[in-house]
Chain A
Amino acid sequence: MLKRVHFPSSPLPYLLVAPQLAITLIFFIWPASQAFYQSFLIEDAFGLGSEFVWFENFEVLWSDSHYLAAFWRTAVFSLLVAGLSMGFALVLAGFAQRAVRGALTYRTLLIWPYAVAPVLAGALWVFMFNPTLGIFPYFLEFFGIDWNHYLNGGQAMALVVMAAAWKQVAYNFLFYLAAMQSIPPSVIEAAAIDGAGPGRRFWTIIFPLISPTTFFLLVINMVYAFFETFGIIHAVTQGGPGTSTTILVYKVFNDGFVGLDLGGSAAQSVILMVLVVTMTVIQFRYVERKVEY
């Protein structure tokens, strides 16, 4: 935490932290506290005055079936995105780690979706699945599947999940590969001498040893799916059809900027903040444990 030696005290350190503190105060702490404050207010219909209502906004949310549905939808969405991209990445990393010489080449070929903006990922997928022109609907027709994510909520959800998971595969792959490469080869060799084949070694040795990485990635992917996928939803489905792809972040934006329900939007923000704080704390607990291990 601290160096043994320090520079003698002077006003200098205050000058050094000042820029970051100023930005933090103006653009982070002040807006966040505003969100807290507003979450206790209800504005009247004309935006002229507001009334302090304690937890009424939260109570409204809690009994709002739309909000609760969005909550569950977000949970399902996040788990699907995390599961799909992590599973895919795990398999690829497991094989890449075996392809000793090719590992770096495969890594190069697999990492670039990381650089693609979520909204672009959405655009790519929406193009591929364009109901009239897209490649995939064309092939799906042979299987008797009529693809139209503008009308079918389930298909719309599938599309955003795929786009979101696709973008995240690269990230998960990198972490899995790094984790697997840090396992001492002698452990794997010992297992091989004990007679475990490649598949068995993977599930009984490698997978348990990288479980901290899996846990870490799960949290990171949940945070990603909760917040950073806004661009995908906004570009691909705009939360629709109906509300079938309206996840929490999209709802905050929509209720605040489109619906202009400041108090309700602020209350949603506060709930999201609580969620991020929880996930961050979990992540840090993990990091602490990791240090010991």
Chain B
Amino acid sequence: MKPRFNIISLTSCTGCISTLISLDIFPQFLERIKINYFLFILDSDDIEECEIALVEGCISEETQINLIRKIRKRAKRVFALGTCACFGGILSLSNSKKAEPLSNHIEIDGMIPGCPPPSKFFGNCLINLVGNKDIILSEKNMCANCPLRGSIEINSHIKITKINPNPEEIRLGEENSECFLNNGILCLGPITRDGCEHKCIKMGLPCEGCMGPVSKDFTSNVVNFLSLIELSQELQKYTGIYNRFSKPKINR
């Protein structure tokens, strides 16, 4: 029997679902599964029993909590799709809204992080899911395979003054050979999970952390990381760093 899927959007930009549909394996994926619930492409009335639920988006409204519990109840396995569902996502920047990952309310069986999840990785995840396997995430951080990783100097003093390079300073992968941190640009690669093929870094931009942390929560990691480097006064209080894709559970 084909595995049944429920694909649900909570508060999100629908980018993960549009990525899902644009995947080159999407037609084959559709063929090998049975879609129960997927409002984007299918008329369906209610969330029915299924083998796998893929949930995109964060929880920003009280009503979504009941919805997500229902999804959990009716699915054998629930996977968080995209950074919003995994960690809270972009809405974490908001002070007035909450942006909770699924795991704040239900137990999840795995996650497919990324904003959006990188196509190749996403495709592999789907193949695994269809084959009733788990999703394999790298346990290392971005530095592990970073094209800019050079020799590590213990005593080099890092002073961060910028979040991004100025537009005129952007250099492509091959023109840029030094770690962003050494140039005073904040790269969140050290606290971000490997797996995105370093696309931003190859394009000359530092990692913004969309794949989320490997362990602990995003904010703890940012704080731990930044406590090691000197940060310009202006950036020290900039929520654009700390809450980029996630905020602590207590900061609702």
The judgment on whether A and B are partners is: no
Chain A contacts to B: CB under 8 angstroms? none
